[in-house]
Amino acid sequence: MEMELCCEEHEDPGMECTEYVAREAISVVADRDSPTKLPCGPAEEGDKLLRKKVLELGALNSLHPTWGQEVTVKMQCVLEDRTVVEKDWKLVFVVGEGDVNQALEECVISMHKGEITLLLADSQYAYGLLGREPDIPAWAPLLYQLQLLDIREKTDPLTLPIADRIRIGNQKRERGNFHFQREENSLAARAYCMALDVLTTCNKDGSSSGIEAEEEEVRDYRIKCLNNLATAQLKLGQGDEALHTSRDVLTLEPINVKALFRMGKILSDKGEYKEAMEVLKKALKLEPTTKAIHAELSKLVQRQLGDKDTQEWKAKPAKMLGDNITPFLCPSKKRTFGISWKFILGALVVALGSLVMSVILTARN
């Protein structure tokens, strides 16, 4: 999920990152020779991309969070110029599910409950080349002040109320949209799949717990997730998976034009022209003015004509001077020309016969 600014009216002095504190923190954490620096997460040899400084120790007898556990973190983030770009006094996320950037996940799994830490994160672990519009520029390192408030096991989504499932599912869907806009298609597809796991009205025993309005809302969000997932899969070159996902959309909504168009395009690319034509015609009937559907139908017709011409020629073995020659293309149907070769051969025989008779008669005379 994208960070949401959830600031309370009052400020927590223990977490307030003033300009002086930020300047000193960047200086201390960035100092490679400082004895207080702690590498966090993977880093290249001799290049600490994530550097942390513990400001206040937590409960040392407590365990570190592990992947798949849910944590609650008090967080504030500033740029090098001390501009506050993120602040959340109660940020909840599951470690390893990509709900936050990699820097936060890598740092949290090294913390104890109650610990307060400064984290200086290289842009490669934050928002990288693209930054984050409008507040985080490209290649910007970020300074976080974090406090780990709570660690618990992730709740099974099938035991949650439907309203909570919709909220969590939408957060993961929006995270997928964030990655998709940045052309991070693998991360986007992963987020959409996680959203689909949550967006359901089924209980653990297989029964449905939602009222009609909730079921309709869940269905609408599932359709959005599936359509977005299919688009991401296509960009990743996963045509078969995108076709399957598009069929899932049509199971929920048979007249979904986006899914029909995408399915028809995939089938056309796979050479399944008959089914592709039926699907695209159905999409065109629903939206007769959409130019993309007209263009795809025209492309499909051209492909069909091209394949028909190709099928008129078939491979045929041939021999020459007793050696096998690589099969070559020859017409499958005999074509008729203006003068038959049999007629020409007959005329040649008659002419030769006449010439021989003339020579014989001349010799006798």
* pLDDT tens column, 284-296: 999 999 999 999 9
Average pLDDT score over residue span 167-174: 96
CA pair distance 192, 180, nearest whole angstrom: 10
Residue 50: which residues within 8 A CB-CB, separation 6 or more? 39, 40, 41, 43, 103, 106, 107, 119, 120, 121, 122, 125
Cβ-contact 74, 15 below 8 angstroms: yes
- pLDDT tens-digit series, residues 86-101: 999 999 999 999 999 9
Q: Can the peptide bond before residue 134 be classed as cis, meaning omega within 30 degrees of 0?
A: yes
Q: What is the pLDDT of residue 363?
A: 74
Nearest to 145 by CA among 57, 17, 242, 302: 17
Tell me the torsion sign for CA atoms 170, 176, 179, 183.
negative
CA pair distance 27, 25, nearest whole angstrom: 5
Cβ-contact 53, 29 below 8 angstroms: yes
Which domains are assigned to the chain? 19-154 (3.10.50.40), 159-299 (1.25.40.10)
- The token duo for 119 is 């984290």
Pairing of strands 38-39, 50-56: antiparallel
Average pLDDT score over residue span 184-192: 96
Count, residues in the chain = 365
List phi, psi (to 5°) of 339.
Answer: -120, 125
The whole-model pTM stands at 0.74
Give strand ranges (E) for the chain.
38-39, 50-56, 69-78, 84-94, 116-121, 142-153, 313-320, 323-331
CA pair distance 183, 193, nearest whole angstrom: 17
Average pLDDT score over residue span 36-42: 43
